[in-house]
């Protein structure tokens, strides 16, 4: 089957200028090698390319076949697209002869075309098949998972990944419904959740947290982020930039803790006879935490929850092991 880009669904890149500015693409750095860990519909990648020098390189990743189809239309010899998760970054860069890069941008959000296309099954607002896979060429769909998973695991996933306090009631309702008929559409699942959630947050559909939880689990988003953070740190050169945009508290918490662990190194008792060069050194310098402006949120309400954290990898002190 041939997969093509879907132009009718438009995507507004969140924190577009702020994210690319964070990579500091000027002077000698404009000739470096950079990674866009989530190509999406190419907003960040295209702006990065517009600021890079002739001999620079940009290597982008994405799991979504439609994003790959869009990326393949970028006719720029400096650009490479990899059909895989950014969690495979280290191996993918090594395969392409790259040891370290000068900056890495990870935009962890799901794109507007994925949400707006009912056939992808990400949204409860339009009825469609309950798929939710970012990579539709592999893995188990949400419908297949709901049909076979135990009630206990359903509850755990909905509670932990969706931070849903009615996870027990929702899991119980899913198991009861699937005994009668398959849960195969987004409208079925949204209606089922609405019946199980006793109170609703103002302005939020009762299915929001459950859909988020299932999407995160099906696509292994938190596992990919955990692996991707470690690999991004390993792959960025000393002096290089890590810029990461997250869209919900679970992701942002992981990024915040990872950056803090690298930046705030516990020091031993000063009375111990330890050479300065042997003292634990911070590995990252925290640069900024940026949220969308009011104007951007007004123009694109989906940007509201975005948070970008930026850090620089520090060189090890001279003489350190």
What residues form the annotated binding site for S-adenosyl-L-methionine?
42-44, 62, 86, 107, 114
d(CA 239, CA 179): 57
> CB neighbours of 100 closer than 8 A, spacing ≥ 6?
33, 235, 236, 237, 240
Q: What whole-number distance in Å separates Cα of residue 171 and Cα of residue 164?
A: 11
Beta strand extents in 108-258 (DSSP E only): 236-246
Separation of alpha carbons 59 and 86, rounded Å: 10
Report phi then psi at 177, rounded to 5.
-70, -40
From residue 28, alpha-carbon distances to 22, 53, 56, 115, 211 in Å are 15, 9, 10, 39, 44
User: How far apart (Å, rounded) are the C-alpha atoms in residues 100 and 263?
Assistant: 20
User: Which residue numbers belong to the known binding site?
Assistant: 42-44, 62, 86, 107, 114
């Amino acid at each position: 089957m041939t997969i093509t880009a879907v132009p009718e669904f438009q995507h507004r890149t969140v924190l577009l200028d702020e994210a690319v500015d964070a990579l500091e693409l000027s002077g000698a750095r404009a000739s470096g090698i950079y990674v866009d860990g989530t190509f999406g519909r190419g907003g960040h990648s295209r702006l990065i390319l517009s600021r890079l020098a002739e001999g620079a390189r940009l290597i982008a990743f994405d799991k979504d076949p439609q994003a790959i189809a869009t990326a393949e239309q970028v006719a720029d010899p400096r650009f490479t697209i990899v059909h895989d998760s950014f969690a495979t970054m280290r191996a993918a860069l090594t395969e392409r002869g790259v040891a370290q890069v000068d900056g890495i941008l990870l935009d962890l959000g799901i794109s507007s075309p994925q949400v707006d296309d009912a056939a992808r099954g990400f949204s409860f607002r339009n009825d469609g098949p309950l798929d939710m896979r970012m990579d539709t060429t592999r893995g188990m769909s949400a419908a297949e998972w709901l049909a076979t998973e135990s009630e206990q695991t359903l509850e755990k996933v909905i509670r932990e990944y969706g931070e849903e306090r009615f996870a027990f009631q929702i899991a119980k309702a899913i198991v009861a419904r699937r005994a009668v008929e398959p849960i195969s559409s987004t409208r079925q699942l949204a209606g089922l959740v609405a019946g199980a959630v006793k109170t609703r947050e103002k302005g939020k559909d009762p299915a929001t947290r459950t859909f988020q939880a299932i999407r995160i689990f099906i696509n292994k988003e938190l596992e990919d982020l955990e692996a991707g953070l470690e690999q991004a740190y390993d792959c960025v050169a000393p002096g290089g930039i890590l810029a990461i945009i997250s869209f919900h508290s679970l992701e942002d918490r992981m990024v915040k803790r990872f950056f803090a662990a690298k930046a705030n190194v516990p020091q031993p008792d000063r009375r111990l006879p330890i050479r300065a060069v042997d003292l634990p050194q911070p590995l990252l310098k925290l640069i900024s935490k940026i949220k969308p402006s009011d104007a951007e949120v007004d123009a694109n309400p989906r940007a509201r929850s975005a948070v970008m954290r930026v850090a620089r990898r520090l060189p090890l002190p001279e003489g350190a092991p």
